[in-house]
Structure 1
Amino acid sequence: MPAPRALAPAIQKALHKLGLRRDIDLALHLPLRYEDETRIVPIASARDGQLAQIEATVTASEVQLRPRRQLVVQVQDASGDCTLRFFSFYPSQQKTLAVGARLRIRGEMRGGFWGRQMLHPVFRAAGGELPTALTPVYPTAAGLPQPLLRRLVASALTRVDLPETLVPELAPPHAYFSSQNSLQRLMCLRDALTFLHRPTPDVALAALEDHSHPAWQRLKAEELLAQQLSQFQARRERSRLRAPVLALVQDGASLTARLQAGLPFALTAAQVRVVREIGADLARAQPMHRLLQGDVGSGKTVVAALAATRAIDAGWQCALMAPTEILAAQHFAKLLGWLEPLLAAEGRSVAWLVGGQRKKERTAALARVASGEAALVVGTHAVIQEQVAFDRLALAIVDEQHRFGVLQRLALRQKLAAHGMEPHMLMMSATPIPRTLAMSYYADLDVSVIDELPPGRTPVVTKLIADSRKDEVIARIAAQVAEGRQVYWVCPLIEESEALDLSNATAVHAELSEALPGVAVGLLHSRMPSAEKKAVMALFTEGHLGVLVSTTVIEVGVDVPNASLMVIEHAERFGLSQLHQLRGRVGRGATASACVLLYATNDSGRVGETAKERLRAMAETSDGFEIARRDLEIRGPGEFLGARQSGDALLRFADLATDTHLLDWARATAPKMLEHHPELAAQHLERWLGGKSDYLKA
């Protein structure tokens, strides 16, 4: 079998699409499932719903036109007969299925009034030796058929070098590999891979499918170790870099002291602790790489402001980058109110940089950034564009960091390259990260948690209401607006979609405008021009609009204390963390607030199980960490990581819900391996990540 590089360009392209470039990539490309082609089952013995392989002779074959065009083939063996039905077929298949042909057929056996039948079974001419192992079915791409992929994998397995990187003192205890209450010895990697690509038919399929077999356990342990090695290595490499030392200025006249003295509220104990943790990092010569997480409304912005003043007091600049203009504008308004009067006295200012600025305004902002007059720069991804030249950038704050790609964060870090240093990085997230996810994907970061809400936040009551009761919800809105309150109504789509029968913001805006005469109803969605979005948001913030119909652009950062009701239409279509973020837009004032999750049911009046789990979780708890834990269980880690995954592939084999024991072992083993067996660590990383670990530096 030729090596992958000798293959046709189309095959090469399909392999590259799957990330299969090296022999080791093919060896680690494990089956999704297996088919048992090792035995022939008599037709009469095949049970209803069983995936069975039979050998039979064709006794009749015809194309029927009613009720729809189909090829109907009768086959028979010594025990009985069976009907094969094909709703799409080719002349060549008809030829193979001619009367008298002896075939080996594999498919799901179905019983019924018309006797046994198989729909679209796989078939070929009978004869030849039966396989001695289960047949693997691999994830594949267009233009890469299973038989070819099987041959490529088998060929790669014979060529690939698989040196053992787990020396005895590093290997996990045998207890991690228990199977059916009996301890298993740790399989060597080659044996584990060979077995998983060609398992013997006597193995319990359940152990293969639920990944509990010792061979799977070995692969999961290897994968988690590679991930932890890459994270610890990234952390160690960063510790060798240099960053500006931002010592705390012990002076009542410092910007930090004046900001704290001027705040109209006292910091919570959690905020004080987190400020101290960030301050300790900023005082070191190594770049900070810290994730600040806190629930919706926990007060992350003021913590970020105090970190910024620490940099400014030391004579440096700070940049704050947010994923949307609305969120960036919220930060800008808040920081401007707190810092502009204090900075103006020193002849410095806060600059604003976004994509849709007028040229004159942008040119002036760029000049202030380059001269250092702008001590703080707030904006969207426009902050990292090439023409933005900082005078002395010491601290980069990235809000909702999971919405930014790896390359965008790298670009922000390179703004201090001219000084031969790295800026400190503070990344913020309002989506609390479950412990196992933080241990796994954020092991290269220090994590600070604001785990208490400021006093005065009112609890939000969450109600689940079927969309058949929408009229009642609209009546509740009318009552709220009559009392001087404001309401959000969030929709998942902007325009009609043929694929999904969802309400859209434009139609809902028209419906509510008609149903609520005398009430000003605003509309906000991501396709509106920036100036129009800003104007609508300003009208709502200032209380001129009673109801704001919006898509999820108001998910984070919007702070309107007078808004006391949030209606989320088609709530079953949203993720848990997104629902929690949206709910956090209300309850920001002293008035009792509510969140209505308006869900659509199917024809039988039911909602899907997964959606039901999400909605139930929302109704049962307002704790962001508990919601994040449940979201991880329901959907896996991808949603939490966002664009970070473009540099750090999601775990393919390990499951954070069930493999925490292996994750604990990998976390403990990675630093020892880097310290005492660096050459084995390098081999292990090359095997699993190739060059992808470079992205972790972001």
Structure 2
Amino acid sequence: MRKTHNPAMSEADPLPAPPRPTAPQSAPARALERLGLTTPEALALHLPLRYEDETRLTPVARARPGVAVVVEGQIEDARVESRPRRQFLVTLRDAAGDRLILRFVHFYPSHQKTLAPGQRVRAHGEVRPGFFGHEMIHPTFKVVDADAPLADSLTPVYPSSAQLPQAYLRKAVASGLQRADLAEILPPNTVPAGLPPLRQALAFLHHPPADARLAPLEDRSHPAWQRLKFEELLAQQLSQMQARRARAQLAAPELPSREGALREQLLAALPFALTDAQQRVCAEIAADLATGRPMHRLLQGDVGAGKTVVAALSAAVAMDAGWQCALMAPTEILAEQHFAKLVQWLEPLGVKVAWLTGSRKGKARKQALDALASGGAALAVGTHAVIQDDVQFARLGLAIVDEQHRFGVEQRLRLRRKLQAEGRATLEPHLLMMSATPIPRTLAMTYYADLEVSTLDQLPPGRTPIVTKVFADTRRTEVIERIRDEVARGRQVYWVCPLIEESDGEDLSGKSMAELRNVTETHALLSEALPGVQVGLLHGRLPPVEKATVMAGFSAGVLGVLVATTVIEVGVDVPNASLMVIEHADRFGLAQLHQLRGRVGRGSVASVCVLLYSGPLSETGKQRLRAMVETTDGFEIARRDLEIRGPGDFMGARQSGDALLRFADVTQDAALLAQARHVAPLLLDRHPQAAAAQVARWLGQRAEFLKA
């Protein structure tokens, strides 16, 4: 074999000599760096997307349309044609005299030089019927000698980029695989029976023999794949068990419940009785708070299941024991909803509540900071402003994070460090995280193995079921008529438009501007179509005072219709709202649709959610909208969302920006997960050095993300 066509592998110009001569990095080398393929181990773990079979030649006459094959022959003709568009056509004739066209719509001068008449070429691609006979469009190819040997294993095709040719990447990976430290870390009795050693598994996956069956490689059920998945799941379980054990060694404030104290007074003052689920969950949290070991608990429940009152009762336990509590929510609207409820419930009982958000400035902010630092305020409620450096607590004992999946890892870690900042370095605050996006059990076992999970699986009495309907946006006029009827009956309506939510100070992209126009245009349209009806407008770019005024007007019933973006996704509670219209519903995620739908059905009036879509729906869009029509159960919604999106997207990679599982899929690899959960504690107890090496190899710095 003489040479391989590779237009990207060209000589680079030398850099000037001073201070020390250094060769410039080639484009492929820079591309490797961008993909994070900078170590032999990273290259060894960069696994193929698929494989091409270049182990046998197929005569042109026997090539079947739609099947990828390798053909070999002499270049008979090569020409550039301009019509109907500029393209490079090469005629290859094999040993039997049969011809095949190689068609290149995108090509370089190097193509014309390499594929010159008279050259012997080996090409790989899918054969298709063409106007002048069979052809291959954009095949891979190389110039070969007449007796050049064929590949003896399947050819890997790797995830790559435009600047990183497969030939270059294959060489880099092969070199990395040779140099990587893949020594066996795990004792033999910890690896499931029948799985190959790690180096052998990786060698097989990079270079499967010619007779290897493709199906188990592609669906990742082959033992070589199973070994990698087990290794990764084991590292992840080890990391979380290490975090759980390390936390068990830490001390936290002991916060015992006392009869007749603040918690009992709050229960007596509430205008409703707790559900059985709320009582059970409150007891689980109270037991954790009393131990003196840091609580690390996730409270999950469907929309409207009553998580806020559980948070208030938990805070009451902490405050009654003489400690402060902080409640952090991702948006100002949600934080304000919590603040209003907690003030209503707790201030009559003598509890001072401090309010902290980004928009709270000047004297009001200073008073809140002084009250927290002195201990005068027992409870802080706010957005991420709660964890800013100038916020100091006198005695922070409990941190509550609502909609915790909307916060980054570092933000949650900073909240936990607040107690250490008070000079009590030996103590750590209790942490309660809340989520209205229920997490399927397999995911909770994997991503939250270091957490205790409490589940509110019961809705308070009086909640009316919500009927969900799907309409094409061509039926918009009918929907507006329905709005007119609802408002005439004295009820209220939400109309939600998609808008990418920006953080403060961030510029709007062109797409966002278009969507912002969408929400303002919809507001204008409905204002015109509904004369005599007060139509409000709410989106994330409004000043905080204006947002608060609009929400107050809707809550008071002054506004009949509220046109909004997803800023109303969580926390908004207006029992009189009976109709939710979600425009471009196919653009929203399933969990987000379910959250938005949960803004209605909060009173005794029968409620409807209308999902409007435009144009032909994608298959994913159809699945989402079908799920919304078929169920209102948040746990079933979560299960279907997991099926549609997969675990990495569902969990937002635990809000770290990095996928925590590259190879394993917790929905498909439940058996391997169970084995990893069984092996992890044995490894920690009997082989702690091997356990540490396993976590370092597979997770590195990402292990920190699992601790938050």
Q: What TM-score does the superposition give when structure 2 sets the normalisation length?
A: 0.91
Q: What residue in structure 2 maps to residue 182 of structure 1?
A: none
Structure 1 portions without partners, runs of 5+: 175-184
Structure 2 CA distance, aligned partners of 1:156 and 1:97?
Answer: 32
Q: Indicate yes or no: 2:595 matched with 1:595.
A: no
Structure 2 CA distance, aligned partners of 1:612 and 1:501?
Answer: 25
Q: In structure 2, what residue type is equivalent to 1:25?
A: A
Secondary structure in 1 aligned to 2:625? helix
Q: Indicate yes or no: 2:441 matched with 1:430.
A: no
User: Which of 663, 687, 691 is 1:681 aligned to?
Assistant: 691
Q: Indicate yes or no: 2:92 matched with 1:75.
A: yes
Alpha-carbon deviation of 1:194?
A: 0.6
- Greater shift in the superposed pair: 83-92 or 266-275: 83-92
Structure 2 CA distance, aligned partners of 1:429 and 1:406?
Answer: 15
Deviations 1:577-597 (A, max 9, x none): 111111111000000001111
* Conserved 8 A contact 1:489-1:567: yes
Judging changes above 3 Å, is the alpha-carbon distance between structure 1 residues 331 and 665 closer, same or farther for their aligned structure 2 residues? same
Matching of residues 216-255 of structure 1 within 5 Å = 216-250=225-259, 252=260, 254-255=261-262
Alpha-carbon deviation of 1:499?
A: 11
- Greater shift in the superposed pair: 426-435 or 77-86: 77-86
Alpha-carbon deviation of 1:349?
A: 1.0
Alpha-carbon deviation of 1:6?
A: 11
Deviations 1:342-382 (A, max 9, x none): 12xxxx51001111112121111111111111100000001
Alpha-carbon deviation of 1:154?
A: 1.7
Q: What residue in structure 2 maps to residue 693 of structure 1?
A: 703
Q: What residue in structure 2 maps to residue 467 of structure 1?
A: 473
Structure 1 CA distance, aligned partners of 2:82 and 2:38?
Answer: 47
Q: In structure 1, what residue type is equivalent to 2:191?
A: A
Structure 1 CA distance, aligned partners of 2:702 and 2:509?
Answer: 40
* Conserved 8 A contact 2:28-2:168: no
User: Which of 656, 660, 674 is 1:650 aligned to?
Assistant: 660
Judging changes above 3 Å, is the alpha-carbon distance between structure 1 residues 114 and 467 closer, same or farther for their aligned structure 2 residues? farther
Q: In structure 1, what residue type is equivalent to 2:443?
A: L
Q: In structure 1, what residue type is equivalent to 2:438?
A: P
User: Which of 244, 264, 280 is 1:257 aligned to?
Assistant: 264
Q: Indicate yes or no: 2:45 matched with 1:25.
A: no
Number of residue-to-residue matches in the alignment: 673
Secondary structure in 2 aligned to 1:169? helix
Deviations 1:491-535 (A, max 9, x none): 113799679997821222122222222222111112222222222
Deviations 1:124-182 (A, max 9, x none): 2123322211121222346443333222222222222323233343222x4xxxxxxxx
Deviations 1:424-463 (A, max 9, x none): 0000000000011001101010000011000000000111
Judging changes above 3 Å, is the alpha-carbon distance between structure 1 residues 555 and 392 closer, same or farther for their aligned structure 2 residues? same
- Greater shift in the superposed pair: 671-680 or 194-203: 671-680
Q: Indicate yes or no: 2:573 matched with 1:559.
A: yes
Judging changes above 3 Å, is the alpha-carbon distance between structure 1 residues 422 and 648 closer, same or farther for their aligned structure 2 residues? farther
Structure 2 CA distance, aligned partners of 1:467 and 1:657?
Answer: 35
Q: In structure 2, what residue type is equivalent to 1:297?
A: G
Judging changes above 3 Å, is the alpha-carbon distance between structure 1 residues 639 and 529 closer, same or farther for their aligned structure 2 residues? farther
* Conserved 8 A contact 2:28-2:165: no
Q: What residue in structure 1 maps to residue 3 of structure 2?
A: none
* Conserved 8 A contact 2:447-2:654: no
Q: What residue in structure 2 maps to residue 532 of structure 1?
A: 546
Q: What residue in structure 2 maps to residue 321 of structure 1?
A: 328
Structure 1 CA distance, aligned partners of 2:566 and 2:43?
Answer: 40
Structure 2 CA distance, aligned partners of 1:215 and 1:574?
Answer: 38
Secondary structure in 2 aligned to 1:586? coil
Structure 1 CA distance, aligned partners of 2:76 and 2:538?
Answer: 66
Q: What residue in structure 1 maps to residue 7 of structure 2?
A: none
Structure 2 CA distance, aligned partners of 1:411 and 1:521?
Answer: 41
Secondary structure in 2 aligned to 1:109? strand
* Conserved 8 A contact 1:295-1:432: yes
Alpha-carbon deviation of 1:650?
A: 2.7
Q: What residue in structure 2 maps to residue 419 of structure 1?
A: 424
* Conserved 8 A contact 1:223-1:654: yes
Q: Indicate yes or no: 2:281 matched with 1:267.
A: no
* Conserved 8 A contact 1:101-1:125: yes
Judging changes above 3 Å, is the alpha-carbon distance between structure 1 residues 550 and 593 closer, same or farther for their aligned structure 2 residues? same
Structure 2 CA distance, aligned partners of 1:456 and 1:352?
Answer: 31
User: Which of 205, 209, 233 is 2:218 aligned to?
Assistant: 209
Structure 2 CA distance, aligned partners of 1:287 and 1:523?
Answer: 43
Q: What residue in structure 2 maps to residue 180 of structure 1?
A: none
Structure 2 CA distance, aligned partners of 1:276 and 1:670?
Answer: 30
Q: In structure 2, what residue type is equivalent to 1:152?
A: A
Q: Indicate yes or no: 2:172 matched with 1:152.
A: yes
Structure 1 CA distance, aligned partners of 2:40 and 2:107?
Answer: 36
Q: Indicate yes or no: 2:183 matched with 1:163.
A: yes
Identity over aligned residues, as a percent?
Answer: 64
Alpha-carbon deviation of 1:67?
A: 1.6
Secondary structure in 2 aligned to 1:41? coil
Matching of residues 320-339 of structure 1 within 5 Å = 320-339=327-346
Q: In structure 2, what residue type is equivalent to 1:676?
A: R
- Greater shift in the superposed pair: 15-24 or 579-588: 15-24
Q: What residue in structure 2 maps to residue 455 of structure 1?
A: 461
Alpha-carbon deviation of 1:679?
A: 1.7
Alpha-carbon deviation of 1:13?
A: 5.3
- Greater shift in the superposed pair: 551-560 or 527-536: 527-536
Q: Indicate yes or no: 2:204 matched with 1:187.
A: no
Deviations 1:554-613 (A, max 9, x none): 1111111011011111111111111111111100000000111112232xxxx2222111
Structure 2 CA distance, aligned partners of 1:274 and 1:640?
Answer: 25
Structure 2 CA distance, aligned partners of 1:6 and 1:341?
Answer: 73
Matching of residues 446-595 of structure 1 within 5 Å = 446-493=452-499, 504-595=518-609
Structure 1 CA distance, aligned partners of 2:270 and 2:676?
Answer: 45
Q: In structure 2, what residue type is equivalent to 1:696?
A: L
RMSD: 2.1
Judging changes above 3 Å, is the alpha-carbon distance between structure 1 residues 425 and 9 closer, same or farther for their aligned structure 2 residues? farther
* Conserved 8 A contact 2:580-2:610: yes
Q: What residue in structure 2 maps to residue 179 of structure 1?
A: none
Structure 1 CA distance, aligned partners of 2:23 and 2:322?
Answer: 59
Q: What residue in structure 1 maps to residue 135 of structure 2?
A: 117
Secondary structure in 2 aligned to 1:110? strand
Structure 2 CA distance, aligned partners of 1:129 and 1:411?
Answer: 60
Secondary structure in 2 aligned to 1:649? coil
Deviations 1:279-315 (A, max 9, x none): 0010011110000000000000000000111111011
Judging changes above 3 Å, is the alpha-carbon distance between structure 1 residues 98 and 498 closer, same or farther for their aligned structure 2 residues? farther
Q: What residue in structure 2 maps to residue 401 of structure 1?
A: 404
User: Which of 135, 156, 168 is 1:136 aligned to?
Assistant: 156
Structure 2 CA distance, aligned partners of 1:501 and 1:206?
Answer: 45
Judging changes above 3 Å, is the alpha-carbon distance between structure 1 residues 223 and 266 closer, same or farther for their aligned structure 2 residues? same
User: Which of 52, 65, 74 is 2:82 aligned to?
Assistant: 65
Secondary structure in 1 aligned to 2:54? coil
